[in-house]
């Protein structure tokens, strides 16, 4: 009896603590189309710079593993953020400069599958760079770059 009354009081107390937490927990605000465009463009620029840094090393006589690893990790960490930065309305109708083609929203499944290819290849890139075999790194850098180009051909205006 006492125990159950205690439990009831306890659960009421816990509920009193949990409910306000639930109600004031901020709902992640969806970015405005304009903010999403700016963020995704910054993300792509970052990946573009990382890809260049990687390829510059691969062209040099003594590719620096630390630089290549940093570049590979930048791509692998940035890529997963990109798909959520294409909300409806963030195409040309957003009124800011964007090279995102309307087909992203009419053929979203293909677009998302190309994003997933980048995730797969860039994760593999990190592993291969860690391995340190320059020929293998070169091959995987090419495979990763092909996923970028493959999406741009189909879904980006400026090629």
**Closest distance to ligand HEC from the beta carbon of 44 (Å):** 3
Cα separations (Å) of 125 from 46, 52, 61, 91, 134? 16, 14, 20, 30, 12
Q: Which is nearer to ligand HEC, 63 or 75 (CB)?
A: 75
Q: Is 137 in the site for ligand HEC (CB under 6 A)?
A: no
Count of residues near ligand HEC by CB under 6 A: 23
Q: Which is nearer to ligand HEC, 63 or 98 (CB)?
A: 98
Contact letters for ligand HEC, residues 89-128 (x by CB under 6 A): ---------xxx----------x--xx--x----------
CB 82 within 8 A of CB 126: no
C-alpha 35/C-alpha 58 separation (Å) is 35
C-alpha 33/C-alpha 9 separation (Å) is 47
């Amino acid at each position: 009896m006492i125990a159950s009354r205690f439990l009831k009081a306890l659960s009421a107390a816990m509920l009193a603590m949990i409910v306000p937490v639930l109600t004031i927990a901020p709902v992640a605000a969806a970015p405005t189309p304009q903010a999403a465009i700016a963020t995704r463009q910054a993300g792509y620029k970052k990946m573009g710079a990382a890809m260049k840094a990687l390829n510059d090393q691969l062209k040099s006589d003594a590719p620096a593993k630390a630089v290549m690893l940093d570049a590979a990790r930048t791509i692998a960490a940035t890529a997963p953020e990109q798909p959520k930065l294409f909300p409806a309305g963030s195409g040309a109708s957003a009124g800011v400069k964007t090279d995102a083609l309307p087909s992203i929203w009419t053929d979203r499944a293909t677009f998302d599958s190309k994003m997933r290819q980048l995730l797969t290849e860039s994760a593999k890139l990190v592993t291969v760079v860690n391995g340190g075999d320059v020929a293998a790194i070169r091959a995987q850098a090419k495979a990763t770059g092909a996923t970028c180009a493959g999406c741009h051909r189909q879904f980006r205006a400026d090629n």
